Amino acid sequence: MIPSRYNRIAERLIIAYLAFLAVFILMFHGFITSWGYLLLAQVIAGAILIGLVKLQAANPDQSVLQLIRNWMPLPYILFGYKMTHYLINSDRNPGFMMIKDHWLISADRFLFGGDPTVWLQRIITPWLTELMQIIYATDYLLPLILVLTLYLKKEKTPFQKSVFILTLGYILSYLGYFTIPAIGPRFTIHHIVPLQGIFIREKLHEIIYAMESCPRDCFPSGHTEIPLIVLWLAYRFKRGLFRVYLPIVIGMIFSTVYLRYHYVIDVIAGMALAGIVILLARRVENREKR
């Protein structure tokens, strides 16, 4: 699959994000533990990306290099997410980037007159908790299944558009974490009714927490933004997958609050950000047509 303009846009987005991280580290190095190593990581990551792009451009017929370049945003999305937990972590960097959950709690109480996660205690049951946890965990699979399906079907333009749009969505959500670091209502609000599943709920919860590494990633809700973007992409490119995804995405958005991972204001922000990403993507596509 020959790289296209959408590959270049995604790569520029990644370079811009790495540059932002490097500038952030330099500006606040006095507060950041092991800041020199983290800065070096951004330089190395950027050099690898640029080197691979130039290598592929110099050898355009090499299928392995085409494969690497088409899928290259994926490890950088993961790398970018990991960096947020080294930089937005007041436990690791004492006194720096303190959590702002009280802002989000106040917003929910202003909008709803109370805490939605506390109100939801009246409908908590083990089977519903189990179902919600399973659905919540599928967030990590929905985008991967979509882009893998498009790639295996050799649908070049839909695949490359999807990777670019998802890259944009993830990076913008990461910037939100820098703006308002928050850990979520499971840690900040007292709940009388515990969340107990039936079979695998507790194990899934432990795995997700370990993967997220002491998260400060509540605002905006990535578990709302990314599934909505994926749903839009599926509607455009894979209607059969859209019909499967629709109930899952609806359930996932509900699960973010039910499972106390997010405040409702996070969900609203995630929906708004998904809309912004879609509008930006459409603008890029229309510009290409002109």
Tokens of 43: 């330089």
First to last CA, the chain: 24
Q: Give the residue carrying structure tokens 């809309």.
A: 275
CA nearest 126: which of 38, 198, 211? Answer: 198
User: What is the pLDDT, as a whole number, of residue 290?
Assistant: 63
With beta carbons less than 8 A apart as the criterion, state whether 221 and 267 touch.
yes
Q: Where are the domains of the chain?
A: 1-96, 99-290
Rounded to whole angstroms, the Cα distance separating 99 from 88 reads 9
Buried b (16+ CB within 10 A) or exposed e, 37-67: ebbebbeebbeebeeebeebeeeeeeeebbe
User: What is the pLDDT, as a whole number, of residue 205?
Assistant: 84
Tokens of 147: 């882009």
Rounded to whole angstroms, the Cα distance separating 166 from 202 reads 29
For residue 166, give the H/E element and its range: helix 156-179
For residue 220, cis peptide bond before it (omega within 30 degrees of 0):
yes
Rounded to whole angstroms, the Cα distance separating 190 from 5 reads 49
Rounded to whole angstroms, the Cα distance separating 256 from 266 reads 9
With beta carbons less than 8 A apart as the criterion, state whether 180 and 232 touch.
no
| Prediction pTM value | 0.95
196: number of Cβ within 10 Å:
12
User: What is the pLDDT, as a whole number, of residue 286?
Assistant: 84
Q: Could you give the count of Cα atoms lying within 13 Å of 269 in the half-sphere of its Cβ?
A: 23
Q: Which regions of the chain are under pLDDT 50?
A: none
7: number of Cβ within 10 Å:
22
User: What is the pLDDT, as a whole number, of residue 289?
Assistant: 67
Q: Give the residue carrying structure tokens 């209502």.
A: 185
With beta carbons less than 8 A apart as the criterion, state whether 262 and 218 touch.
yes
User: What is the pLDDT, as a whole number, of residue 133?
Assistant: 96
CA nearest 260: which of 175, 207, 192, 200? Answer: 192
